[in-house]
């Protein structure tokens, strides 16, 4: 699957009847003789076989793996320590701020110190909690700190503690109509896979969480992304949204930037692109079939 995704990324057709190792070697030959660093980010335990498949023993070809787990069979490992309290606080402030504007974080400095400590300086928690508390009232800040403090400080290897604290986060979200349910709906899709916005729209309409004009979809998606519970990624202009009757201009009317890269299925720019009135930057590169 990794080799196949790399072929699509650089705009080549995936060869048939080749092993994953041969596919990678063939791809590297196509790319050329430049040094290559393959980065595998957030690799989970039990994925050693995937790394083994990508070890080709070629010159000027290296693999960098980042993970929360140790892989004893591989050498040259480097263990990263936790963030310092100062860096963790800076990161938390970053996620609490919205669109680069000053937020009300300074009004809660006493709570910031407690929450950062409870998060164990762990970036994932700092991101989720910071996004969840963005623009929220003092009551919500105090509720989050009070409920999370019951679990004590979080240790990186305590996966059960992670799930418990995420449960508390959901309870706080439950104070907002449908947001908790919409977040839980994301678990119906395969892990670490892109979810077409069209699929979410169709599902939420079917479950009566949205009306037929899908006017509320922006609100739900904005709230999930604002709290760092989801990320919006624009992939293929034609492929990502044309599968649904709902256009991207209606789903994301406030979209300001769009990057289209290595999309060989793009032949013409869709007409609805002109309907995104807030679009400021449109970057199109390596779309060789675009006329």
Phi, psi at 282, each rounded to 5°: -125, 115
Q: Same domain for 99 and 148?
A: yes
Q: Same domain for 211 and 256?
A: yes
Alpha helices (H) in the chain, listed in sequence order: 2-10, 20-31, 48-54, 85-96, 109-118, 123-133, 138-148, 159-173, 179-185, 197-206, 217-226, 237-241, 248-251
Q: How far apart are CA 180 and CA 223, in angstroms?
A: 10
Residue 74 lies in a domain: no
DSSP state of 195: -
Q: Same domain for 205 and 125?
A: no
Residue 53 lies in a domain: yes
Residue 213 lies in a domain: yes
Look at residues 24, 67, 23 and name the one whose alpha carbon lies nearest to residue 45. Answer: 67
Range of the domain at 97: 85-175
Q: Same domain for 193 and 281?
A: yes
Count of the separate structural domains present in the chain: 3
Residue 172 near residue 132, CB atoms below 8 Å: yes
Q: Same domain for 200 and 153?
A: no
| pLDDT value at 87 more than 90 | yes
- Structure confidence by residue, pLDDT tens digits, 206-240: 776 665 544 556 667 766 776 667 777 655 555 54
Q: Same domain for 127 and 100?
A: yes
Domain boundary among 130, 152, 175: 175
Look at residues 196, 205, 120 and name the one whose alpha carbon lies nearest to residue 155. Answer: 120
Rounded to two decimals, what is the model's pTM?
0.50
Q: Same domain for 141 and 202?
A: no
Q: Same domain for 134 and 111?
A: yes
| pLDDT value at 245 more than 50 | no
Q: Which helix (H) or strand (E) holds 282?
A: strand 281-285
Residue 73 lies in a domain: no
Q: How far apart are CA 76 and CA 176, in angstroms?
A: 47
Q: How far apart are CA 118 and CA 136, in angstroms?
A: 19
* More confident call, 49 vs 108: 49
| pLDDT value at 105 more than 90 | no
Quote the distance between the C-alpha of residue 157 and its chain's center: 22
Among 4-13, 116-125, 139-148, 180-189, which range has the highest average pLDDT?
Answer: 116-125
Q: Same domain for 148 and 195?
A: no
Residue 79 lies in a domain: no
* More confident call, 76 vs 17: 76
Q: Same domain for 55 and 104?
A: no
Domain boundary among 15, 36, 65: 65
| pLDDT value at 241 more than 50 | no
Q: Same domain for 54 and 112?
A: no
Residue 80 lies in a domain: no
Residue 290 lies in a domain: no
Q: Which residues pair with 65 in a beta bridge?
A: 40
Q: Same domain for 228 and 193?
A: yes
């Amino acid at each position: 699957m990794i080799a196949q995704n790399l072929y699509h990324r650089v705009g080549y057709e995936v060869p048939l009847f080749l092993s994953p190792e041969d596919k990678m070697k063939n791809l590297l030959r196509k790319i050329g003789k430049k040094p290559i660093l393959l980065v595998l980010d957030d690799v989970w335990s039990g994925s050693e076989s995937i790394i083994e498949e990508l070890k080709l023993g070629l010159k000027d070809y290296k693999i960098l793996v980042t993970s929360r787990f140790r892989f004893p069979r591989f050498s040259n490992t480097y263990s990263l320590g936790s963030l310092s309290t100062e860096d963790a606080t800076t990161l938390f402030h970053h996620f609490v701020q919205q669109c680069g504007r000053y937020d009300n974080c300074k009004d809660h400095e006493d709570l910031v110190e407690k929450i950062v400590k409870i998060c164990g300086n762990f970036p994932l928690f700092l991101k989720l909690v910071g996004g969840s508390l963005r623009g929220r009232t003092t009551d919500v800040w105090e509720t989050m700190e009070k409920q999370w403090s019951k679990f004590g400080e979080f240790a990186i290897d305590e996966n059960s503690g992670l799930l418990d604290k995420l449960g508390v986060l959901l309870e706080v979200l439950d104070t907002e109509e449908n947001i908790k349910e919409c977040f839980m709906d994301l678990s119906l899709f395969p892990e670490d896979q892109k979810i077409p916005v069209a699929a979410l729209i169709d599902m939420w309409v079917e479950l009566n969480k949205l009306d037929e004009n899908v006017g509320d979809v922006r609100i739900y998606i904005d709230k999930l992304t604002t709290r760092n519970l989801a990320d919006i990624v624009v992939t293929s202009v034609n492929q990502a949204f044309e599968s649904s009757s709902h256009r991207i201009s209606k789903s994301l009317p406030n979209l300001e930037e769009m990057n289209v890269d290595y999309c060989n299925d793009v032949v013409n720019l869709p007409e609805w692109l002109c309907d995104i009135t807030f679009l400021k930057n449109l970057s199109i590169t390596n779309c060789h079939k675009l006329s």
